[in-house]
Amino acid sequence: MLDAACKSPPDTISTGLEPRETGYYWAKLVAPRKQPPDEDWASIDWEIVHVDENYGEGEDEFRVYVPGIGPGQLISAFLWGPAVKDKKPERADA
């Protein structure tokens, strides 16, 4: 069961700010890059994505990875929601 930290934000919530550090965030992909012409990768709902360092500058500083989409996406291709707080799995033997 998901706790409050893992529930998707309502459609009306958008931080409007691109992430400036690596981590996991709620986002909607709105302008996919390297998308095959016969596919549609744009998000229909909020999803958790991984923002990682790309060691570039400007648009190339970060790449965003979406489950099920091979190529990393540009950070400007998303509508951004809040960061997802780290939550370690509970130990089964605890």
- Any idea where the domains of the chain sit in the sequence? 22-83
Is the pLDDT score of 62 beyond 80? yes
Distance CA 43, CA 69 (A): 11
Q: Is the separation of the CB atoms in 75 and 92 below 8 Å?
A: no
Neighbouring CB atoms inside 10 A of 35's CB total: 15
Average pLDDT over residues 6-16: 57
Distances in whole angstroms, Cα of residue 89 to Cα of each of 3, 15, 31, 93, 94: 12, 27, 33, 12, 11
pLDDT for the residue 36: 85
pLDDT for the residue 53: 94
pTM of this prediction?
0.74
- 75: confidence class by pLDDT, cuts 50, 70, 90: very high
The SS3 assignment for 6 reads helix
Q: Is the separation of the CB atoms in 77 and 22 below 8 Å?
A: no
Write down the mean pLDDT value for the chain: 82
- 2: confidence class by pLDDT, cuts 50, 70, 90: very low
